[in-house]
């Protein structure tokens, strides 16, 4: 499945996004990984700061996903 997709420098890179239909603005992802998630000024709903997770931030993104009460953070590789 990783053929030609999600690869950079030979390593499999994770992809992340926040499902806007599930996110309710609990803000815990940004508390866990502020470098990866940004909150709307208007209602605190979250978006990922990037689609492809930069090297070294995989664990922070996974931790944020585990912390989300709505399980709105989708990680794919």
Partner 1 sequence: MTTTGDKASPFHFDRHAPEYIDHFDDLTHQLHEKCPIAWTETWGGHWVASGYKEVFEIARHGSLLSNDHDVHHERKGWQGITIPSPPGRDTRGGFLEMDPPEQRDWRRAIDPYLSPAAINRWKPMLDDLTRACIDERIETGTIDFVDDLANVVPAIMTLALMGLPLADWEIYCEPAHAQVYTPPTSPDMARVIEMTSVTQQKLLDGIRECRRNPRPGMVLGLIEAEIMGGPASDSDIRDTLGLLIGGGFDTTTALTAHSLQWLGENPTERARLRAELPELIDLATEEFLRYYTPAPGDGRTVTCEYELSGHHLEEGDRLWLSWAMANRDPSVFEEPDAVKIDRRHNRHTSFGLGVHRCIGSNVARTVFKAMLTAVLDRIPDYVCDPSGAVHYDTIGVINGMKHLPATFTPGLRIGKGIEETIGLWQKSIDEEGLARPVTRQG
Q: Which residues bind partner 1 (CB under 8 A)?
A: 22, 24-28, 30-31, 39-44, 63, 66-71
Q: Which is nearer to partner 1, 17 or 45 (CB)?
A: 45
The minimum distance between CB 74 and partner 1, in angstroms, equals 15
Q: Is 7 helix (H, G, I), strand (E, B) or coil?
A: strand
Q: Are 6 and 52 in contact (CB under 8 A)?
A: yes
If the CB atoms of residues 12 and 25 are measured against partner 1, the closer one turns out to be: 25
Q: Which is nearer to partner 1, 39 or 75 (CB)?
A: 39
Is residue 49 within 8 A of residue 35, CB to CB? The reply is yes
Q: What is the DSSP letter of 66?
A: H
């Amino acid at each position: 499945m990783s053929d030609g997709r999600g690869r950079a420098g030979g390593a499999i890179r994770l992809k992340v996004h926040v499902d806007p239909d599930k996110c309710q603005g609990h803000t815990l992802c940004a508390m866990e990984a502020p470098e990866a998630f940004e909150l709307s000024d208007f209602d605190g709903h979250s978006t990922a700061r990037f689609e492809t997770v930069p090297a070294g931030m995989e664990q922070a993104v996974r931790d944020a996903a585990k912390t989300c009460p709505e399980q709105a953070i989708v990680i794919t590789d």
